[in-house]
């Protein structure tokens, strides 16, 4: 039977994705973030969703605060991407939206939807 564990190396590999934009040429980078390109938007949306998936189960303990958590700004960004997609492309965004819903439900249950964690986590953006 296959086991599923969010290994730390997988988490770190995700963190390393923050270095990818700097490795790209200007042309490729702008293609990747092109708001008019639905494939680009789908990819960026999946990247954020992977971070939600992994960061909700890998909790780093910090010296000055409890744990890291996904930035709630992702809610706005993922919702905006979904709104920009036509009906055909929305089918490719079903998983991110389902994960987003799950995460929002968890935030509501925990009562932690305050915007203290709205900004991106330092540990993610600077890795």
Instruction: State in angstroms the smallest separation of the CB of 110 from other proteins.
Output: 15
* Binding stretches for other proteins (CB under 8 A): 2-10, 12-14, 16-22, 24, 28-29, 31-33, 35, 38-40, 42-44, 46-47, 49-50, 53-54, 57-62, 67, 71, 73, 76-77, 80-81, 92, 94-96, 98, 114-116, 118-120, 123, 125-127
Instruction: State in angstroms the smallest separation of the CB of 64 from other proteins.
Output: 13
- Do residues 50 and 14 touch, judged by C-beta distance below 8 A? yes
65: tokens are 């605060």
Cβ neighbours around 122 below 10 Å, total: 10
Nearest to 53, CA basis, from 6, 15, 19, 13? 6
- Do residues 59 and 67 touch, judged by C-beta distance below 8 A? yes
Nearer to other proteins, 12 or 108 (CB): 12
DSSP designation for 61? B
Nearer to other proteins, 91 or 108 (CB): 91
Nearer to other proteins, 67 or 108 (CB): 67
């Amino acid at each position: 039977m296959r086991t599923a564990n969010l290994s730390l190396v997988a988490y770190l590999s995700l963190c390393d994705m923050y270095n990818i934009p700097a490795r790209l040429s200007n042309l490729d980078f702008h293609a990747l973030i092109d708001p008019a390109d639905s494939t680009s938007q789908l990819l960026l949306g999946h990247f954020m969703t992977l971070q939600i998936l992994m960061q909700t189960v890998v909790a780093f303990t910090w010296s000055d605060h409890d744990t890291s958590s996904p930035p709630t700004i992702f809610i706005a960004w993922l919702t905006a991407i979904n709104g920009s997609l036509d009906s055909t492309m929305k089918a490719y965004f079903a998983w991110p939206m389902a994960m987003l819903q799950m995460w929002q439900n968890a935030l509501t249950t925990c009562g932690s939807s305050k915007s203290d964690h709205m900004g991106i986590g330092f540990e993610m953006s600077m890795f």
